Amino acid sequence: MSEKEIQRRVGEMLELVNLRGYEKRTTNRLSGGQQQRVAIARALVNQPKILLLDEPLGALDLKLRKEMQIELRKIQQALELTFVYVTHDQEEALTMSDTVVVMNNGHIQQIGSPTDIYNEPVNAFVADFIGESNIINGSMPRDCLVEFCGKQFECVDKGFSPNETIDVVIRPEDIKVIPAAGAKLTGIVESVVFKGVHYEMIVDGVDHKWMIHSTKEEPVGSMIGMTFDPFDIHIMKKAKEEN
């Protein structure tokens, strides 16, 4: 390319990654986030149709990683390019993506929007990998009725054989704490950890140790009741054993 074209493209890329004015600096005089922007600019300057990013933010600290996630989304949308983004960070996958592909040992488990992947996982692996989950063994006596922990609950799932063995997934944030008296499910609070926006409680029930996220702290050693809405109960077929 001509020198003029090179200068034009370099200027465009520096503008895109917010590094205008840093043209004469060597990379060892840049911060970690700035160095990451240089790497992105180098990849984009050749105008690819698809860009593969393999753990691009793994070496950055949490604050920088959050900032670069926003920057990368802006760049991707501005250039209207397809980014194939590889990450083991579940939160990053949900934040960055229009479409998420969850893989396990080289096999695709589920493809869908971040909302679908989180709210409607197809199996226990996806449910456990994407976010925290309570996964309990259960059965389906009939459509829209599930049994686990010795109790029956209304749900919204259909299409299972009578009394088919299934996995039940309930997200920690979907469990409501209620008085133990009269509750279908009860347990004793084993531990409480403050996570900033919520308390994470481990509750020892009769047949399962529950994880609950709540904005209200319950004392360790106290007996509590637990409840949830029918649409918060996710029913999944048991994974088939591979030969």
Give the pLDDT mean for 84-109: 91
How many C-beta neighbours within 10 Å does residue 137 have?
13
Q: How confident is the model at residue 20 (pLDDT cuts 50, 70, 90)?
A: confident
pTM of the model: 0.73
Average pLDDT over residues 220-231: 96
The reported pLDDT for the residue numbered 149 is 94
Q: Does 60 score more than 80 pLDDT?
A: no
**What mean pLDDT comes out for the span 15-21?**
86
8 Å CB contact between 42 and 55:
no
Mean of pLDDT values over 53-58: 86
Average pLDDT over residues 37-56: 89
Please state, as a whole number, how many other Cβ atoms lie within 10 Å of the Cβ of residue 114.
Answer: 16
d(C-alpha 214, C-alpha 172), whole Å: 8
**Of 102 and 237, which is predicted with more confidence?**
102
pLDDT digits over 119-166, tens only? 888 888 898 888 889 999 999 999 999 999 999 999 999 999 999 999
Q: Which residues contact 147 (CB under 8 A, 6 or more apart)?
A: 138, 139, 140, 141, 153
Mean pLDDT of 174-195: 95
241 has pLDDT over 60? no
When pLDDT is cut at 50, 70 and 90, the band that residue 240 belongs to is low
Q: Would you list the DSSP string of 78-140?
A: HHTPEEEEE-S-HHHHHHH-SSEEEEETTEEEEEE-HHHHHHS-SSHHHHHHSS--EEEEEEE
pLDDT at 58: 78
What pLDDT score does 243 carry? 40
Distance from C-alpha of 74 to C-alpha of 18, rounded to nearest angstrom = 11
Percent of the chain with pLDDT over 70: 98
pLDDT at 74: 87
